[in-house]
Every structure is written in C-alpha cells, then in structure tokens.
Structure 1
Amino acid sequence: MTSVAHATAPVAPGQLGQAIGVDELRTYLGALDDWRAARKRELDQIDAAALRSDEADSYVGDLSLAMTMWQSVSDRWTQLTKIWDSGRVGPQQREEMSRVIWGTGTASGNLTGSIGLSLAEACRLSDALTAALRARLSFDPMAADVAARIQATRATLERCRDQLAGGHAARPLSLPDLDELTRRLDELAARARRGSDVSGPFAAIEAAAARAERDLIMAAAAHRGLGRDYRAALERRRELEAEADQLDKLVERTRAAVVPAPKLAVPDVSRLGKVPQTREALDTFRGRLDLVGTAMTQVRDTYTSALGEPGVLLGLLRAFASKAQANGRAKDPLVALVREQAETALSAVPCHILDARNLVENYQRLIVPVPGGGI
C-alpha cells in the first residue's frame, strides 16, 4: 500500500475571548491550511482502501464522521481567512477569530458547533478518527516512522489521562484501561528497538488509543452540551414561573372587569418538578416546558382579548354614533336610547359582555343595516 503522510493538527493559539497576536494567527492559519490539504489526501486514500476491504461496511460510520469533521474544520478555516482579510485585522477582528477557534457554536448547521466542539477539539477528533482508521486498515503498519508513531500514541494516551483528570465528562463505558495500554505500548517499543516485528499488536494499541481519545472528546462535548441545556432549562423555568405570576394578575383583572370571563387555567409550573440532569430526561422536560409556554401564550392572548373587548366595543359604538350624526339618525329616540343603554353596559364594572355586545350590534343595525347581521 502506498505510504500516506500522517497529518497532525497544529496547536491552536490563544484562548477564548483573547485578541490573539497577528504573528500567531498568521502561523496558525498557514499550518491549518497545510493540515487541511494533507488530511484530505489522507482521507481520500483511506476511503479508497476501505472500499477495497472485505469489510467495507464496518468503516462507513467512522469514515463518514471523519469526512464530515474535515469539512466542518475546513468551513471554519474559510471563516477565519475571511475575518483575517490578508492580515488587515485589529483587536476586534483578532478576538472574533479566537471565538471561531475556541467557541463551540460558530456556525449554523456546523457539526462541530452542534455537538459543542471547538475548532481545536474538532481537529483533535479528526486526528483521532483518522489514526483509528489508519490502524484498522493497516496503513504503513510498521514503516520507518515507527518511533514517531509510538511517541504519538503515547502522547494520545497522555491527553486521554489529562481529560479524565479534568473531570469534564463521565468516563465512557467503552474506554479501555489507559495504564494497561501504556504498559503494553512500552513493551512493544522495547521489542521494536530490539528489531522485533510488532506491527500487529502495535496497530491494535494505536487504534485503541485513537478510539479512546475520540470517545473522550465526544463525551466532553456531550457533557458541555448537557450543562448548557440544563442551565437553559432552569432559566426557562424561571421565566415561566414569572410569567405565571403575571398571568394570575391578568386573570384576576379580567374576571373583575368582564362577565363572563374566559375559563382557561394558568398552567402550574411547579407540577413539572425539578429540572433533570440526564440527557433523555432533560430533553423530555424541555419539551414539557415548550408545551407550558404555548399554553401560557394561549391564556395570555385569550384574557387580554377579553379584558380589552369593552374598549373595542366602545370604539365601535362611537364610530357608529359618528355615522348616526352624519346621516341625521342621532336624534332618533330609539337610536339615542340604544346608544345610552350600550354606553351604560360598557361602563359597568364588571361589564356583562354579552349584553354589551348585543346592544352595540343592535345600534349598528339601526345606523347601518348589515346583511346577515353581526358587527
């Protein structure tokens, strides 16, 4: 099999919210562009090799994710170069570039943003996925770069330990024993230095380390997403509780002002219970929050309309009175009597809205007959 260069993503400069230095950005953009090109060539050759494999279907999932991840990184690189504008950047633009590099939701529809990965993490995930695919397909199983590959695998295992020590996510169930992998790797390195062919066992360890890093990156992203959604659900619950208080007051005002008032009930937010902290339960809870929000909108619209109806009817009555004045009907005793009755009904507290509505409708018919009736 043709040798493939093993691309490794460059280390991202700066940190979120920092106006990264111009020279650091220039170096990073160039290195990231080189990485994009090398990774694309590597993935193309891996894809071709996978298609020739007897177990081609088993590679589809990881290969598809690797290709999509590459495209996502490439999209962010394009975004960065647009902001970079050939180096014509001030502090504001350089801070914006740091958000693209370190932020977790920079583009709509962007895979890395949707699962909560920064550009730096997306590059690491791409490296891990590609290393796993390389190992599974036995790309250059033990070529002249064996020492470098062993060192790279050892670095992968160290990054896995660091991520676990950070406590940013639950330990994936599929995660292997990292200490055991390191012990086996050290044994293979010693055997390789003595000239032994350790290609098979090493490929298995290399793949296991790459899968471990991939799983940890994804777990950390999922954990951040869960935390973000939990906080959003808490805030939405508080908003709905405050809205419920306002709706209770609206209902009281309406019932005091209009008879009969609507009979819709204000949803009781407390019946939702506490905000859960597991993904499946949280997603269900957020769906229930949406339903409560929709119900509150209906309650607010219904009671607001009912509370405002006497004012609307009074406006109609005055408009009809102007017509009566214009066509000489205003002094008609019946017209004057119905107008007086309507004004009395509309000024009453509470307003008996059905009676008031009928009186305004009757007044309209006296002034401007409407075919079929109705206001």
Structure 2
Amino acid sequence: MSLDLGMTTGPAGGAPRAPGRLGVPVGAAEALRYLTDLGLWIDDRRKQLDAIDAAALNAPNQTDRDALTHDMTVSMALWKAIHDRYELLKVTFDSGRVGAVQAEQLSTLIWGRLDVTPGVGRDAERARVPSAAEGALAVSLPEACRLSDAMTSSLRARLALEPSGLDIGIRVKAIREGIERLRDQIALTPPGAARDKNSADLIGFQQRLFDVTERAKRGGDVGGYLGPLEIDVAGRERDLIVAASRRHESERDAATARTLITELAARGDAIRAMQTQCLASLNPAPKLAVPDVRALGAVPDDPDAVDALLARLQLVSRALDQAHETYARALGERDQLLGLMGALDAQAAASPEIDAQERADLAPLRAQLADALASTPIPLVRARALMAAYQSYLQAVTRKGL
C-alpha cells in the first residue's frame, strides 16, 4: 500500500534536537533555530497522523482497527500537547526579544513537564485517553517528540504506509538510529530484571538488523523483515520512554508524599494540643478523633503503593480539617462567652437608668455566670443559660424607658 504522508524530512528525519537542559537558559539564536525546526516538524507530523488516521479507519480487521485507534488516540493527544507547548514557546520567544527571564522560561517550557487535555476540538470523539497515554504525556517536550516519532514509525509500519520507492538504506538507517536511542534509554533504567531483559532484546534487535543488512548485500528481498523490526524497535522505544516518565512521576509523587507527611504530622500535633485544651476546658466538649499520619508508615518504593498513600494522605488532611474546625469552634464559643460577659458588665456600669433593686437582681445572675465561666471545665449548658438570663434582664432594664 502506498500513500503520500506529506513528509518534508523523510521517515528517517525525527524531531529536532532541543537546546540545553532543564535549568540552563536558552539563548535567542538557538531558540530561533529550534522553534523553526519544531514548527516544520509539527506541521509534517499532523499531516502524517491525518493520513495514518484515515488508513486506520479503513483497516479490514475490527481488532486491528481497535488497536490502531488506541495508538492513534495517544498519538493525537501527544501532537496536541506538543503543539500547545510550541505556541507557548512562540509567545515567550516574542520574535527574538529574549532577556534573562525569557531565556529561563524557554528552558522551563522545553524541559519541564508536558501536560495534555484530551478530547478537545477536532479530536473530541477521542474523549477518553487510555491510561497508557496519561503516563506517556508526563514527559518533557523532547521526550514527547521522540515518543511521537516512535509511535508514528510503528503505526506506519503496521499499516504498510511507507512510500513504495523508499530506499532500503534510509529505513535501515532509521532502525539503527532507533536502536541507538534504545541503548541510551536502557542506560537510564535502574539495574534489575527489566533492564537485563531490555539489554538482551537490544542485542536481538542488533542481530536482526545485521541479518537484514547482510541479506540486502546479497541482493535478497528484505521488505518483509524490515517492517516487523521497525515495529518492534519503535514499540520498545515508546515503552521505555513511558516507563522513564512514570519513574520520574513516581519519584515526584514520593517527594510530595514525604512533604505532605511532614506537614500533616505538624498539623496533627497542633490540633491534638487544641483537642486536649478543649476537653480540659469545656463540658460537654466535642469528641472527634484526630488521626496521626505517622501511623501510615514510611513512603513505599512501589509506584502503585505511593499512589495509594497519596489518596490516604488526602483523607487524613480532610479529617484534620474537620477536627480543627470543630475544636476551634468550641474554643471560640468559650472566648465569646467570656467576651460577652465583659461587654455586658461594661454596659451595666455605664447605664444610670438601672436602679438599685435592678442591680440587686443582676448581681446574683452575674455572680453565677462568672462562677460558671471560671470553672474548669466550663459547664457550657449552664453557662449559656445564665448568659441568656443575664443578657435578657440587662436589656430589659436598660430599655424600660423606650
């Protein structure tokens, strides 16, 4: 099957190399070169994806269509995230007016986390991005571009969309470059069974590429060997990029969890002190449990366990909010009663219209109220009733002439 994919750089031409690294300012000249190349790459990639999308919809097998639609959903979401970040870069670049602040911002936009909002605009029918896509998009802009290259290469190979006259040497070169990128990705993975398996598979890819090259040198047909190898190399590159982004995300989540635990532990200690004060000074006092976040233990290493811990930390935070509000409100009522008694005493002292008999009536009410508020703990029901009686009688005698 032959199809014009609208490529200007050829299938071996991947995303442009990003300047610098995170935290290193990007100068105006290198930013201009990168934005120019990235803009061309984005336009070409959209044309390729549109052509692949049309071919995927016409795939004869429903199972194939479903699998292709999944990867197309991810690829389209990736493209939109890259395009949106490119627009932000252009605004920051501001036609070359790049000062120190803008240079830092350009670096952050290029190497910082790339987010995506799927199911918008033209791609609204792809409303739910699969979970794999969500992980894939927690990457930097250069990683997202490489991931897009890998997925597009895999989709082209699965749909046999390589232009009919494409030189075998170009395809072999693209596979060799993909293998080298795999080598770089594997070097970044932590030691363990997964790294050992990827290293063994890398050797297998190299051997398959060597066999294809030797077969081509002998004049043999290698078209049937290149396609599967392209799919396998591109798929493995995609998986490694996504796995790396998930590791980084897990590390950030673990750091977030540690910070939250420290903050929640401090809040919990303060609220328990408030609880102790409330129970000692009021009767009846609210009885609400104050969770101790330390009971959840240390932050685990497993990413899924970290996610579960973050969810539990949110529950602890809400429970602390409720306890804080409850005990603060109770202590606030105690302070309000004490403040109101002082205000009523001042009102009584400043009211000459109150005669001696009325003051004699007020005196025992005031004495009983003061005794209740001086008790430890304060009997709230009695104090409220005495306050109501004292306030009501005082209002009555100060307004008797009205």
TM-score by length of 1: 0.90
Displacement after TM superposition at 1:327 (Å): 8.8
In 1, Cα distance between equivalents of 2:373 and 2:93: 66
Structure 2 equivalent of residue 348 of structure 1: 375
Q: Are 2:81 and 1:81 aligned?
A: no
Contact 1:131/1:206 (<8 A) preserved: yes
Structure 1 equivalent of residue 123 of structure 2: none
Deviations 1:30-49 (A, max 9, x none): 00000011111111111111
Structure 2 equivalent of residue 373 of structure 1: none
Displacement after TM superposition at 1:100 (Å): 0.6
Structure 1 equivalent of residue 260 of structure 2: 236
Deviations 1:166-222 (A, max 9, x none): 225973899681211111111112222333221111000001100000000000011
Q: Which amino acid aligns with 2:41?
A: W
Q: Which amino acid aligns with 2:372?
A: A
Structure 2 equivalent of residue 217 of structure 1: 241
Q: Are 2:153 and 1:144 aligned?
A: no
Displacement after TM superposition at 1:280 (Å): 2.5
Q: Are 2:197 and 1:199 aligned?
A: no
Structure 1 equivalent of residue 121 of structure 2: none
In 1, Cα distance between equivalents of 2:247 and 2:355: 73
The 1:16/1:265 distance shift into structure 2, 3 A limit, reads same
Q: How does 1:290-309 map to 2 (within 5 A)?
A: 290-309=314-333
Structure 1 equivalent of residue 183 of structure 2: 161
Contact 1:131/1:210 (<8 A) preserved: yes
In 1, Cα distance between equivalents of 2:66 and 2:278: 65
Displacement after TM superposition at 1:98 (Å): 0.6
Deviations 1:246-278 (A, max 9, x none): 223222222333233322232132322332222
Displacement after TM superposition at 1:314 (Å): 2.3
Q: Are 2:388 and 1:361 aligned?
A: yes
* Identity across matched positions, percent: 39
Contact 1:338/1:362 (<8 A) preserved: yes
Structure 1 equivalent of residue 280 of structure 2: 256
Q: Are 2:108 and 1:99 aligned?
A: yes
1:35 counterpart SS class: helix
**Which of the residues 165, 175, 189 maps onto 2:213?**
189
Q: Are 2:299 and 1:275 aligned?
A: yes
In 1, Cα distance between equivalents of 2:134 and 2:28: 25
Structure 1 equivalent of residue 35 of structure 2: 29
1:9 counterpart SS class: coil
Q: Tell me, which stretches of 5 or more residues in structure 1 are unaligned? A: 370-375
Contact 1:112/1:122 (<8 A) preserved: no
In 2, Cα distance between equivalents of 1:303 and 1:119: 48
**Which of the residues 362, 368, 371 maps onto 1:335?**
362
1:20 counterpart SS class: coil
Contact 1:254/1:261 (<8 A) preserved: yes
In 2, Cα distance between equivalents of 1:58 and 1:277: 32
Displacement after TM superposition at 1:326 (Å): 5.0
Structure 2 equivalent of residue 46 of structure 1: 52
The 1:236/1:28 distance shift into structure 2, 3 A limit, reads same
Q: What is the aligned-residue RMSD (CA, Å)?
A: 2.6
Structure 2 equivalent of residue 314 of structure 1: 338
In 1, Cα distance between equivalents of 2:351 and 2:178: 89
**Which of the residues 152, 156, 174 maps onto 1:130?**
152
Deviations 1:279-299 (A, max 9, x none): 322222222111111111222
In 2, Cα distance between equivalents of 1:68 and 1:207: 20
Q: Which amino acid aligns with 1:85?
A: D
Displacement after TM superposition at 1:71 (Å): 0.7
In 1, Cα distance between equivalents of 2:138 and 2:152: 20
Q: Which amino acid aligns with 2:377?
A: P
1:177 counterpart SS class: helix
Report the number of matched residues.
368
Q: Tell me, which stretches of 5 or more residues in structure 2 are unaligned? A: 119-132, 397-402
